[in-house]
């Protein structure tokens, strides 16, 4: 049975308001924003992100890091830092954006399963919060860099506990088939800790786990903590980082714990289990996903066989998640958000790829027409940061909205941008 109900407004950013003739986020009308800035367009509720960052900093205290892989631009790096968070970066590029945004190196957590000599040297010489060691090669590389520079570096050892969590296999990172971290079950993890402690220029700070992303069950996180408890108790580190990974609601039927519920459960469990370390986390998706919607313009509505394809001016290049993970999204019509959605549509992009589907079984009011602005909510994480130029499309613009103002924080790419590396 087709669900004709209007979009669940609780999926929209916190400051969203909907009435029979429109939808606003941060006091900015979405159709007007689309007309002013063009589409596809990411619209972020900056107040919601600030509230989330502040809450994370308050709950965990200094050192808790926003995982920038979820969404990074200079403005969000600055906002997370201003709200009291450190930033988790996993490449030289993420590191660079954070530094250009004005984030001090001492607030950066450097990840990566294949860090280059250059990345390590920059981190060591600039004095990062800590570097997270991922393999014995990584230890060698960091030891060599600290000797070359004659400078010590704070480090964590990333442990792979070898546990299964409920998520897509591409977003599970703490099981026995994962490329990340030192396996616990082989004895590599305690061996890595010993090696680090024996390295005079490596300043051992603690242990790290991150078992996956888009995990909804708090029990999964508790089991992951349990699986490393013996090591944590034996090593008695200064900090124990439990990673990120909390799932968020993308669809009406999804059920996700709040960030506070997730954090409280983990902190309480660590305390009850005798963990003396300061427990920290690295949330990404839960900070930014629900703060944004994407706006598209409808270019074609064509019934072909049993399906009606509603084609928009973006697609897999601005949101690869449906194609990568089979992820589901809602779609709604901002000019008429309260009307029944009685038309079944498959929302597709404009790429030359049959997998270029944004919403497989979407519903929209039957008044939807060519030229309309349609929107997919909960697109603030792993959308823009995974965007590509496939088919030589320009990547979208990003606006932040708050208190009735829309400010452009990332402009739309131009054709000249697309050619800037092409030397002919």
Ligand X SMILES: Cc1ncc(COP(=O)(O)O)c(C=O)c1O
Query: Which residues carry out catalysis?
Result: 352
Contact code string over 218-257 relative to ligand X, x by CB under 6 A: -------------------------xxxx-----------
CB of 301 vs ligand X, minimal distance in Å: 34
- Does 45 bind ligand X (CB under 6 A)? Our answer is no
- What residues from 77 to 106 belong to the interface with ligand X (CB under 6 A)? 88
Residue closer to ligand X (CB basis): 67 or 189: 67
Q: Give the range of 134-142, 219-227, 268-276, 277-285 binding ligand X by CB under 6 A.
A: 277-285
- Segment contacting ligand X by CB under 6 A, of 27-35, 256-264, 276-284, 398-406: 276-284
Q: Which of 45, 188, 282, 356 lies at the binding interface for ligand X (CB under 6 A)?
A: 282
Q: Does 26 bind ligand X (CB under 6 A)?
A: no
CA–CA distances in Å: residue 230 to residues 197, 225, 274, 308: 18, 10, 10, 56
| Minimum distance, C-beta of residue 58 to ligand X, in the bound complex (Å) | 18
Tokens 């007309």 -> residue: 35
Q: Is 111 in the site for ligand X (CB under 6 A)?
A: yes
CB of 347 to ligand X, least distance (A): 24
* Residue positions counted in the chain: 424
What x/- string results for residues 285 through 324 when contact with ligand X is judged by CB under 6 A? xx--------------------------------------
Extract the tokens encoding 108. Answer: 């950066």
Does 213 interact with ligand X (rule: CB under 6 A)? yes
We find the least distance from the C-beta atom of residue 310 to ligand X, in angstroms, to be 29
Question: How far does CA 395 lie from the centroid of its chain?
Answer: 18
> In sequence order, what are the beta bridge partners of 157?
133, 207
Q: Where are the alpha helices (DSSP H) in 320-374?
A: 321-325
Buried/exposed code over 201-226 (b: 16+ C-beta within 10 A; e: otherwise): bbbbbbbbbbbbbbbbebebbbebbe
- Residue 225 falls in which region: left (phi positive, over 0), alpha (psi -120 to 50) or beta: alpha
For residue 335, state whether it binds ligand X (rule: CB under 6 A): no
Which residue's structure tokens are 């958000």? 337
Report CA-CA distances (Å) from 362 to 6, 9, 167, 199, 292.
Answer: 11, 16, 23, 56, 19
Q: Please, what sign has the CA dihedral across residues 288, 271, 269, 209?
A: positive
Strands 357-364 and 343-348 turn out to be: antiparallel
Nearer Cβ to ligand X (262/400): 262
Judged by CB, which is closer to ligand X: 174, or 362?
174
The secondary element (H helix, E strand) that includes residue 89 is strand 86-89
Under rule CB under 6 A, residue 70 binds ligand X: yes
State the minimum distance, in angstroms, from the CB of residue 271 to ligand X. Answer: 22
* CB of 28 or CB of 89, closer to ligand X: 89
- CA triplet 408, 365, 300: central angle to 5 degrees? 65
Nearer to ligand X, 90 or 363 (CB): 90
If the CB atoms of residues 112 and 314 are measured against ligand X, the closer one turns out to be 112
Of residues 42, 12, 30, 39, the one with CA closest to residue 296: 39
Cβ 177 to ligand X shortest distance, Å: 15
Site string for ligand X, 148-187 (x = CB under 6 A): -------------------------x--------------
**Cβ neighbours, 10 Å, residue 130:** 24
Least distance in Å: CB of 196 to ligand X? 18
- Of 213 and 336, which has the nearer Cβ to ligand X? 213
Question: Which of 122, 141, 210, 341 lies at the binding interface for ligand X (CB under 6 A)?
Answer: 210
Answer whether the bond into residue 243 is a cis peptide, omega within 30°.
no
Q: Where are the alpha helices (DSSP H) in 83-215?
A: 92-100, 117-126, 136-149, 188-197
Q: Is 69 in the site for ligand X (CB under 6 A)?
A: yes
For ligand X, which is the closer residue by CB, 67 or 331? 67
Name the residues that contact ligand X, by CB under 6 A. 67, 69-70, 88, 111, 173, 210, 213, 243-246, 282-286
């Amino acid at each position: 049975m087709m669900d004709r109900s209007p979009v669940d407004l609780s999926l929209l950013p916190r400051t969203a308001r909907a009435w029979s003739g429109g939808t606003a986020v941060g006091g900015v009308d979405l159709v007007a924003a689309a007309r002013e800035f063009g589409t596809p367009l990411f619209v972020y509720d900056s107040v919601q992100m600030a509230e989330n960052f502040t809450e994370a900093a308050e709950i965990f205290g200094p050192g808790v890091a926003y995982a920038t892989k979820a969404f990074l631009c200079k403005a969000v790096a600055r906002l997370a830092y201003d709200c009291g968070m450190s930033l988790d970066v996993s490449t030289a590029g993420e590191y660079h954006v954070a530094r250009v945004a004005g984030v001090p190196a001492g607030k950066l957590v450097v990840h990566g399963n294949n860090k280059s000599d250059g990345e390590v040297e920059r981190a060591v010489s600039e004095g990062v919060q800590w570097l997270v060691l991922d393999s014995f090669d990584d230890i060698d590389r960091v030891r060599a860099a600290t000797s070359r520079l004659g400078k010590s570096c704070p480090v964590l050892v990333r442990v792979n506990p070898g546990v299964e969590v409920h998520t897509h296999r591409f977003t599970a990172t703490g099981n026995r088939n994962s490329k990340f971290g030192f396996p616990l079950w082989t004895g590599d993890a305690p061996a890595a800790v010993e090696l680090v402690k024996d390295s005079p220029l490596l300043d051992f700070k603690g242990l790290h786990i991150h078992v996956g992303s888009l995990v909804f069950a708090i029990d999964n996180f508790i089991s992951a903590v349990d699986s490393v408890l013996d090591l944590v108790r034996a090593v008695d580190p200064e900090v124990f980082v439990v990673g990120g990974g909390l799932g968020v609601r993308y669809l009406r039927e999804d059920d996700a714990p709040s960030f506070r519920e997730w954090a409280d459960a983990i902190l309480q469990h660590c305390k009850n289990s005798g963990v003396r370390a300061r427990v920290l986390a690295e949330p990404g998706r839960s900070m930014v996903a629900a703060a944004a919607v994407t706006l598209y313009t409808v270019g074609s509505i064509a019934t072909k066989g049993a399906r009606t394809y509603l084609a928009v001016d973006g697609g897999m290049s601005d949101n690869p998640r449906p194609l990568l993970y089979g992820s589901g999204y809602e779609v709604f019509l901002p000019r008429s958000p309260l009307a029944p959605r009685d038309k079944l549509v498959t929302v597709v992009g404009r790429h030359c790829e049959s997998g270029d589907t944004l919403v497989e079984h979407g519903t929209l009011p039957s008044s939807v027409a060519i030229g309309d602005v349609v929107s997919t909510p909960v697109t603030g994480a792993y959308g823009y940061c995974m965007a590509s130029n496939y088919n030589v499309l320009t990547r979208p613009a990003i606006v932040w909205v708050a208190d009735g103002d829309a400010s452009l924080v990332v402009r739309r790419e131009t054709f000249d941008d697309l050619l800037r590396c092409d030397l002919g």
